[in-house]
Structure 1
Amino acid sequence: MKMKNVLFAVSFVLFLPAVSLRAQIGKRFPSERKLVKDPVTGVMLTFLTSTPAGDSKIYQTHNQWTSDGQWLIFRSGRIKGEALAVNERTGGQVQVTQGGYTGMLCVARRSMKLYYMRNADTSRRRGALQVVETDLEKVLADSKAGKMRAVSVYQRVCGTIPDSLNGGGDMALDAEEKYVYFRVSRAEAQKHLTPGMKIESNFGPRNMGAGPAGLAGMDLSTGEIKYITSVPFQIGHIQTNPWVPGEIVFCWETGGKSPQRTWTVMADGTGLRPLYPESEYEWVTHEAVITKDEVAMAIMGHRKIAASGKRDTAGTHWSGMNPGQEAAWGPSGTREKPTGLAIVNLRTREMVIAAQTKSGSGLWHVHGSDDGRWAVGDDFSRSIYLIDRHTGEMILLSTGHKATAADHPHPTMSPDGTRIEIQSAMLSADNRSMNICIIPVPELWLKRKYD
């Protein structure tokens, strides 16, 4: 054998371990599933992950479960920059992306598909973004069989968002799963503003909220991009109504209280309006579409009436357990006015308060069941409360998830309304690292009958 060929053969052999160790779509991880009894409520919690690998769930504005109801999609440090699926019954984990993703993971409700953005040029942090579709059915089946094929069998690039339109990774999937909607850049939004519209400046001590911003949509079959609307403020938390095609909900993002938090618009640009018109005394946050006609949101009661809070040494944010205490947020967030888990009807525009904690921060991140039976929320202590919307009864469902956790629980109801997914630091030795946890709705509550 010639020396050139020998060197090539040696280098190829040396390269093999590096290739085999590289993360590949379909890679399997052993089950970490554990049953843990809540030490306070006695509810049996199912931890689908239980090691300190930096897990986090999808935000509660978006679907978590695959359409077959068997898997949950989540983010994890196990494979840096990639998404995983965990089987709720067995605890088995499978890598379901390859090539990375950025921003929101959009799990389809009607099909076994996952949609997300990734950088078109992986060497750049900014630039054009690809919208990618993963066929979860193929990935999970081939992974189980141990016969993975080329990544192109599982992933499809639906289209590219050019650098000039790139407004970040905020994205939502339309009810019919034919379009995604996303935020566009300030420069692009400026081009589509209504003449004479006043551009909003930053609001609050976090120096966020300035506009303009805009929304656009992409046809997933053709990659065609269509502009929707521009607004004079910073857009955040884009979500869709899973039952009404073209209905979009989003917020004015300031990192805290905003002058008018919740907004809605149709995908053709019509119907732009505040979802719930709020006053300066109301701290509205963490809205989530929960039924065909309803959006849940928190009206916070987390600030003392006698004092407006104090600043930390930097004077820009609250450094303790209870955020949003700075005087610069204005007079909102106290219990001088009605507060609690509020539910707004998109059609009638009526709002009701489903429940409120008697003390403490009040409910913070909120969600509800598709059938309108349950509502759920967490608070600053990371405790989880369940509400029977028929009776108005509220119970503490689970606690002990540690206020020192790296993030909040972000409770999300399952589509069938029988359980709740959260992220929890209950099992973490460092009191920060989080795991994926399922909390069941109590059997006695599920058996309730109503007149």
Structure 2
Amino acid sequence: MSLRKTSLLLSLVLALAPAWAQIGQRFPSEKRVVPDPVTGTPLTFLTTQPRGDAKIYPSHPQWTADGQWLVFRSNRVKGEAIAVNETTGDLVQVTEGGYEGMLNLAQSGGNKLYFLRKEPGGAGNDKVRQAVEVDLDRVFADSATGAMKPVTAYQRVFATLPAELEAYGDNALDADGQWFYFRIQGKAYAGARLPAGTKIEPPFGPRGMGAGPHAIGKINVQTGEIKHVVSVPFQIGHIQSNSWNPGELVFSWETGGKSPQRTWTVKGDGTGLRPLYPEAPYEWVTHEAFIGKDEVALAIMGHRPVPGVVDPNRPAGTAVEGANPGQEDGWGNTGTREKPTGLAIVNLRTREMTIAGQTPKGSGLWHVHGSYDGRFAVGDDFERGLYLIDRRTREMILLSAGHKTTARDHPHPTFSPDGKKIQIQSALLSADGREMNICVVPVPQDWLARKR
């Protein structure tokens, strides 16, 4: 074979390699520290190439139980998840056969990953789902030595969910790792388990979403037993579990925008269903996330102009069409700053709500989170700015900026378990202004040194 033909064949093999690659495939480190162009904060980019990277949603853990790896979505191997070692920058493929929706990292009992996926080759019924556990410790160990085994040595299917459930990738792992909660879209199944006479909610808002009924189910991770948790008369979204308190869930009424009542909580046995934060008709509540055993952060948005009022800081035609949500007509007089808005924190036990902070103008804080020790809160805004709040003093600073309003998505900040850093996704390095990378932002040392 000629040198030219050999070279062409090698190029073809390399181009197709990701499609053939198995779990444990490794990629070279892309780790790089870049000063923030606005604030000077040192940003540690764990990925720097345009490969379709996206972090796990901020309502869920991002780091493995040992704190060494972050797991994220990527097109390095299309449809598979990747882990990056925060110290070395090594990248490892950690799923094989695909996943759907949320990626769930256990926070105790070793490094494990849980998710739903379509049943491979499943009799032509695309509504059947498998629940999968990945032993990440074995993946990392064998990948490091280059001695990978068949995928069954690392992935375990612990349940197959029948088509009638229409299970979907909104899911969460309980704090003790015993139960895996998932969303049920099967209206016949969910409706049959509603109390008699329950009014089914129709679509709400201009996006035609929000109609029910939906339900939450759970699977025993060890035995595969499937149980019904609760049915509700509306569309469910963003199921999440309390990472410190087993058997406690938060979920949303999903409309694609303003909901009649966005946030809900329920126990893992189906009892205690109630609104988490009872909202007023004019409030636009969104992006709730557990930030401790007793607390949930959420955003009360102030992103929309007051009807009939000309705001000089929001010139006509410069709203945010296409770049940010919530600007279309049909949501009513909601999400304005005529009433208090900001990063709110709800105590699950006392039911009291406090507002930790809010930007003085603009969209306000959008995706929110907090350190597990109760010291700090963080939020992003429509400009992709990252704001850090000292919950004790209410001081707020712009921690990081320059992440490009053209980015494919928002930064979605999430605190690390030790409260010393924040993971985001950023388009700062992208040539097209859209592709995003995985980035870790430190909490300033002088803030960490403050007295509690």
Shift of residue 191 of structure 1? Answer: 1.0
Q: Distance in 1 between matches of 2:51 and 2:325?
A: 26
Paired residue type of 1:278: E
Q: Distance in 1 between matches of 2:223 and 2:49?
A: 41
1:55-82 Cα offsets, whole Å, 9 max, x none, are 0000000000001111000010110010
Note if 1:119 corresponds to 2:122: no
Query: What does residue range 135-146 of structure 1 map to in structure 2 within 5 Å?
Result: 135-146=135-146
Note if 1:223 corresponds to 2:221: no
Is the Cα contact below 8 Å between 1:119 and 1:125 reproduced in 2?
no
Is the Cα contact below 8 Å between 1:308 and 1:326 reproduced in 2?
no
- Note closer, same or farther for the CA distance 1:25–1:419 as it changes in structure 2 (3 Å cut): same
Q: Distance in 2 between matches of 1:59 and 1:376?
A: 15
Paired residue type of 2:172: A
Q: Distance in 1 between matches of 2:340 and 2:125?
A: 43
Q: In structure 2, what is the equivalent of residue 155 of structure 1?
A: 155
Paired residue type of 1:30: P
Q: In structure 2, what is the equivalent of residue 428 of structure 1?
A: 430
Paired residue type of 2:59: T
Is the Cα contact below 8 Å between 1:376 and 1:385 reproduced in 2?
yes
Shift of residue 325 of structure 1? Answer: 2.1
Residue correspondences, number: 430
Note if 1:401 corresponds to 2:399: no
Shift of residue 169 of structure 1? Answer: 1.1
Note if 1:277 corresponds to 2:275: no
Structure 1, unaligned runs of 5 or more? 1-13, 310-316
TM-score where L is the length of structure 2: 0.92
Q: Distance in 2 between matches of 1:190 and 1:322?
A: 34
Q: In structure 2, what is the equivalent of residue 53 of structure 1?
A: 51
What SS is found at the alignment partner of 1:426?
A: coil
Paired residue type of 2:116: M
Is the Cα contact below 8 Å between 2:180 and 2:219 reproduced in 1?
yes
Give the share of equivalent positions with the same residue, in percent.
Answer: 64
Given candidates 16, 34, 43, the residue that maps to 2:32 is 34
Paired residue type of 1:90: T
Is the Cα contact below 8 Å between 1:308 and 1:327 reproduced in 2?
no
Q: In structure 2, what is the equivalent of residue 346 of structure 1?
A: 348
Q: Distance in 2 between matches of 1:219 and 1:331?
A: 44
- Note closer, same or farther for the CA distance 1:230–1:116 as it changes in structure 2 (3 Å cut): same
Q: Distance in 1 between matches of 2:204 and 2:412?
A: 25
Hey, which bits of structure 1, 4+ residues long, moved more than 6 A? 17-21
Query: What does residue range 332-411 of structure 1 map to in structure 2 within 5 Å?
Result: 332-411=334-413
Shift of residue 306 of structure 1? Answer: 3.8
Q: In structure 2, what is the equivalent of residue 245 of structure 1?
A: 246
Q: Distance in 2 between matches of 1:417 and 1:175?
A: 19
Is the Cα contact below 8 Å between 2:307 and 2:333 reproduced in 1?
no
Q: Distance in 2 between matches of 1:324 and 1:427?
A: 27
Shift of residue 183 of structure 1? Answer: 0.8
Q: Pick which of 349-358 and 186-195 moved more.
A: 186-195
Is the Cα contact below 8 Å between 1:121 and 1:128 reproduced in 2?
no
Q: Distance in 2 between matches of 1:51 and 1:333?
A: 36
TM-score where L is the length of structure 1: 0.92
Shift of residue 115 of structure 1? Answer: 0.3
Paired residue type of 1:244: N
Paired residue type of 2:50: P
Structure 2, unaligned runs of 5 or more? 1-11, 311-318
Note if 1:417 corresponds to 2:415: no
Q: In structure 2, what is the equivalent of residue 190 of structure 1?
A: 191
Query: What does residue range 288-303 of structure 1 map to in structure 2 within 5 Å?
Result: 288-303=289-304
Q: Distance in 1 between matches of 2:322 and 2:18?
A: 45
Q: Distance in 2 between matches of 1:422 and 1:37?
A: 15
Is the Cα contact below 8 Å between 1:171 and 1:238 reproduced in 2?
yes
What SS is found at the alignment partner of 2:330?
A: helix
Q: In structure 2, what is the equivalent of residue 93 of structure 1?
A: 91
